[in-house]
Amino acid sequence: MNLAFLIDNARREPGHPRLEGDDLVVHALRNARFAGDDDKSDLANLVADVLNRTDSSKVRNAAALLLTDLIGRGADQSIIRLLERPGMLKMSGSLLFALNNIEAILPLDLIVTIIEEGSLEAQGEALVFLESGRITETTDDAVQASRQRLQDLSARTNDKNLKIAADIALECLDDIS
């Protein structure tokens, strides 16, 4: 199975509007959920490859959701590596949503970085991880370093929503230590 096969199947659907570009790829990925059980492993590898290669946030979001549907918790490391790429955090809300759906665990440092640099949606998803305690790197030093970053962020930002996110995260860190 390959992406061209999925796209070709999506194009042949009767009565479906003509899709092009990213919209066609997203549609093909959404329909790929219905692949036979024998194809799940190959499909998961294909989707992970799409996830790692695409520059399109629409395609990346569809691929992340499909990957979590296909392999559940095994998808978390692929998506976390993607989140750690430079420039990814502004468009990471759906990736974090997918990770939350499988109750993944995120590194505390990454969560703080998402709060600092992510979109409002991504910040909200990051707070879900903190509030539920689904984090790693909870040594005293790591928590203190994260607390300091969040305090600095809260003190220097003029963005009301960012300040609220930083303050909520600080409250969550109080529960950890």
Give the model confidence (pLDDT) of 127-137 as tens digits. Answer: 999 999 999 98
Quote the Cα angle for 68-138-72, to 5°: 10
Which residue type, as a one-letter code, is found at position 134?
R
User: DSSP letter string over 76-117?
Assistant: HHHHHHHHTSTT-GGG-HHHHHHHHHTT--EEHHHHHHHHHH
Give the model confidence (pLDDT) of 92-103 as tens digits. Answer: 888 898 888 888
Cβ proximity of 26 and 59 under 8 Å: yes
Q: Is the dihedral of CA 124, 126, 52, 49 positive or negative?
A: negative
The CA-atom distances, in angstroms, between 101 and each of 105, 114, 132, 153, 160 are 11, 18, 13, 28, 28
Give the model confidence (pLDDT) of 24-60 as tens digits. Answer: 888 888 877 766 555 666 777 788 778 777 888 888 8
Q: What are phi and psi of 136, to 5 degrees?
A: -115, 175
Q: What are phi and psi of 97, to 5 degrees?
A: -60, -45
Cβ proximity of 99 and 80 under 8 Å: yes
Helices 76-83/93-101 angle, 10° precision? 160
Least trusted range by pLDDT, from 12-21, 135-144, 148-157, 162-171: 12-21
